[in-house]
Amino acid sequence: MKELLTRHVQNALGALGQLARQPVATGLTVAVIAIALALPASLQVLVQGAQRIAGNWDSIRDFSVYLKPGTDLASARRLAREVSDHPAIATAELISADQALEDFRSDPAFGEALQALKENPLPHTLSVRPESAATAESLVEFKVELAGRPDVDLVQLDTQWLQRLGAILDVIRRTVWMVGGLLVGAVIVIIGNTIRLDIQNRRQEIEVSKLLGATDAFVRRPFLYIGLWYGAMGGLASLLILLAGFAILAAPLERLIALYGGDYGGLGLEPATATLVLAGGVGSGLIGAWLAVARHLSDIEPSV
């Protein structure tokens, strides 16, 4: 076991040394891999940033429940507790009629008009936030259930927008994975072609090794480490590209979001995304090297 581990370390360092001896070719290959990995990762990070800026889209899914005029505050509070206990609901905030009236009075557009009213015309209202996993169908069923209560006057729920939102998010997620899969496939092809050329350049060396009794596993191992190093360096370079790109975009994004009254939380690589990029680079490097070696190594046999 110790001897096997020693040989693996020697092969890994030897492969790294071989890449270091041809810096231009290695640098170009690593750059192509890094760009291919950075494209889907940047799209994923931008989607995550947009969801975070929008409050994970939760506020867009909120709906309102208007109680009938004359409903007492105790009944409104009891209904708020019942709604919040529903499996499809995350929170149900009660906005009392008096609180709503104060909010409208603080608005210059409504303040003077409300001063002329002798009684509060506003009803108690529930601001309801569904669970992130709640489907549009379950919310429609709950809307019908609420609308049938004697103390509920109106349930304002835009189910069509919820369906559109779900479709948009599904398209974005599928696009990220599709683009990521295509570009990882391109990385595998790039590394495989690079390893193929390396095998052809070392054809005589491989023939001599096999003539001296080297097995296919022994000959294959250095090329697998070359693919691993290509993938690892490409993944690290991809992370550097992403960090540099986010640093460049930070200032204009902050200005843009501030114009819409939003809070810019910054774009950053989550640990899961960074791990996925590195794993994608290493995995595609090993797969590309393995396919190239399996395809071309069997064609090289020593001539006696």
Question: Tell me, what CATH number does 127's domain have?
Answer: 3.30.70.3040
Residue 150 lies in a domain: no
25-183-246 Cα angle (round to 5): 85
Q: Are residues 74 and 191 in the same domain?
A: no
The band of 33, judged by pLDDT with boundaries at 50, 70 and 90, is very high
Cβ atoms of 253 and 267 within 8 Å: the answer is yes
pLDDT tens digits for range 123-132: 899 999 888 7
Average pLDDT of the segment spanning 15-28: 89
Q: Which domain holds residue 127?
A: 61-131
pLDDT reported for residue 255: 79
Q: Are residues 97 and 189 in the same domain?
A: no
pLDDT tens digits for range 91-103: 899 999 888 777 7
pLDDT reported for residue 113: 63
Residue 16, both tokens = 């790294």
Q: Are residues 12 and 118 in the same domain?
A: no
Q: Are residues 288 and 261 in the same domain?
A: yes
Q: Are residues 72 and 29 in the same domain?
A: no
Between these two residues, 53 and 11, which has the higher pLDDT value? 11
Q: Are residues 46 and 171 in the same domain?
A: yes
Q: Are residues 233 and 295 in the same domain?
A: yes
pLDDT reported for residue 266: 60
pLDDT tens digits for range 278-287: 998 999 999 9
The band of 161, judged by pLDDT with boundaries at 50, 70 and 90, is low
Enter the DSSP assignment of 109. H
Find all residues with CB under 8 Å of 14, minimum gap 6, and list them: 222, 225
Question: Is 59's pLDDT higher than 70?
Answer: no
Q: Are residues 271 and 181 in the same domain?
A: yes
The amino acid occupying position 126 is L
CA dist., res. 161 & res. 177, Å (int): 24
Among 62, 52, 63, 81, smallest CA distance to 263 is for: 52
CA dist., res. 18 & res. 82, Å (int): 69
The band of 139, judged by pLDDT with boundaries at 50, 70 and 90, is confident
pLDDT reported for residue 78: 92
Average pLDDT of the residues of the chain: 81
Number of domains present in the structure of the chain:
2
CA dist., res. 230 & res. 36, Å (int): 13
CA dist., res. 22 & res. 145, Å (int): 71
Q: Are residues 51 and 183 in the same domain?
A: yes
Residue 139 lies in a domain: no
Residue 23 lies in a domain: yes
Between these two residues, 303 and 277, which has the higher pLDDT value? 277
Q: Which of 14-18, 55-59, 225-229, 288-292 has the lowest mean pLDDT?
A: 55-59
Question: Is 212's pLDDT higher than 60?
Answer: yes
pLDDT tens digits for range 249-293: 877 877 776 665 555 556 667 788 889 899 989 999 999 999 888
Cα–Cα distances (Å) from 152 to 71, 88, 142, in that order, read: 9, 19, 13
Average pLDDT of the segment spanning 113-119: 65
pLDDT reported for residue 218: 78
E runs forming strands in 68-111? 89-95
> What share of the chain has pLDDT > 70, as a percent?
82
pLDDT reported for residue 231: 92
CA dist., res. 25 & res. 33, Å (int): 13
Q: Are residues 68 and 195 in the same domain?
A: no
Average pLDDT of the segment spanning 132-154: 86
Q: Are residues 259 and 201 in the same domain?
A: yes
Q: Which of 49-53, 170-174, 232-236, 254-258 has the lowest mean pLDDT?
A: 49-53
The band of 52, judged by pLDDT with boundaries at 50, 70 and 90, is low
pLDDT tens digits for range 229-249: 999 999 999 999 988 888 888
Strand pairing category for 89-95 and 63-67: unpaired
